[in-house]
Homo-oligomer: A and B are copies of this chain.
């Protein structure tokens, strides 16, 4: 039985992490750490340091806090000898994840940087269908309403908060799981006046010569869309609803129940049992590249 300590009890933790841990027969939620929240029947601590000090038997920590400030928590968990699972993105910077990898390796601990969208219902079917076909282009459209998904959250607009790349990195995580050698060629970042992160971004990418475009937009109030369109020599694959549905030239290939977090925790248990880590930086690397070479455009002020 793998005992888990969960840190951060926000929306994503309650909606996804708690049910997924409860559904895993080899896993037990042994404690939580949260400044404000408590959970009936589970040991609750105000912060990770208190949890680590009081619960030496908890072998693994799962972090669901925002990326800013997550590094210190992650390093504390590893230094206390605990396996570690990280929500996406695995850190605020690439360099901090490098340091976490070194710390985990030095202690023989599992570090698992999760990308939940890679576990979406139809991603595996899409991979199988694309295999052996010749890709001619990829078009990503990821448009949603920031007011709906991040009501009142200020951290997303601060430097390091990623802005529209917070959802967009999910698309990039699917893309890099299905297509090798994705390279960023150009990025246009649309940043509301007075904010530090983009509300929309247009990317031009390439994978071994195949053109890829991505449009991320947080300003859509209706008809949200999370779609990746793959044009091939044998038809068009459409991955919709963030990877939940795949169709070929309009005919459904695969559609299924969302089991993303159930699969992530199953994989975490496997990694711990095998003494392995899984840290793929490709999605965050593309986001860092977009900030590195991106052209900034000032747009209308955003009112929450």
| Interface positions of A (Cβ within 8 A of B) | 71, 92-96, 98-99, 102-103, 159-160, 180-184, 196, 208, 282, 285-289, 291-296
Contact for A288 among B94, B160, B295, B296, CB less than 8 A: B94
Contact for A196 among B94, B160, B295, CB less than 8 A: B295
A116 CB to nearest B CB, Å: 21
Known: A159-B293, A196-B295, A291-B292. 5 other contacts (CB 8 A): A93-B292, A94-B285, A95-B183, A95-B285, A102-B180
Chain B residues within 8 Å of A196, by CB? 295-296
Chain B residues within 8 Å of A181, by CB? 98-99, 102-103
Q: How far is the CA of A220 from the CA of B102 in the complex (A)?
A: 38
Chain B residues within 8 Å of A92, by CB? 292-293
Chain B residues within 8 Å of A102, by CB? 180-181
Q: How far is the CA of A96 from the CA of B295 in the complex (A)?
A: 18
**Given A160-B292, A291-B291, A293-B93, are A183 and B99 neighbors across the interface (CB < 8 Å)?**
yes
The 7 closest A-B pairs by CB, nearest first: A160-B293, A93-B289, A288-B288, A99-B181, A291-B291, A291-B292, A159-B295
Chain B residues within 8 Å of A183, by CB? 71, 93, 95-96, 98-99
Chain B residues within 8 Å of A98, by CB? 181, 183, 282, 285
Integer count of this chain's copies in the complex: 2
Sample (28) of A-B pairs whose CB atoms are under 8 Å apart: A71-B183, A92-B292, A92-B293, A93-B183, A93-B184, A93-B289, A93-B292, A93-B293, A94-B94, A94-B288, A94-B289, A95-B183, A95-B184, A95-B282, A95-B286, A96-B184, A98-B183, A98-B285, A99-B183, A102-B181, A159-B294, A159-B295, A160-B293, A287-B292, A288-B289, A288-B291, A291-B292, A291-B294
Q: How far is the CA of A95 from the CA of B196 in the complex (A)?
A: 23
Chain B residues within 8 Å of A285, by CB? 94-95, 98, 288
A217 CB to nearest B CB, Å: 20
| CB atoms of A182 and B292 under 8 A apart | no
| CB atoms of A292 and B295 under 8 A apart | no
Chain B residues within 8 Å of A296, by CB? 159, 196, 296
Q: How far is the CA of A196 from the CA of B95 in the complex (A)?
A: 23
A182 CB to nearest B CB, Å: 6
Q: How far is the CA of A51 from the CA of B220 in the complex (A)?
A: 50
Chain B residues within 8 Å of A293, by CB? 92-93, 159-160
Q: How far is the CA of A159 from the CA of B289 in the complex (A)?
A: 11
Q: How far is the CA of A296 from the CA of B103 in the complex (A)?
A: 31
Closest B residue by C-beta to A209: B75
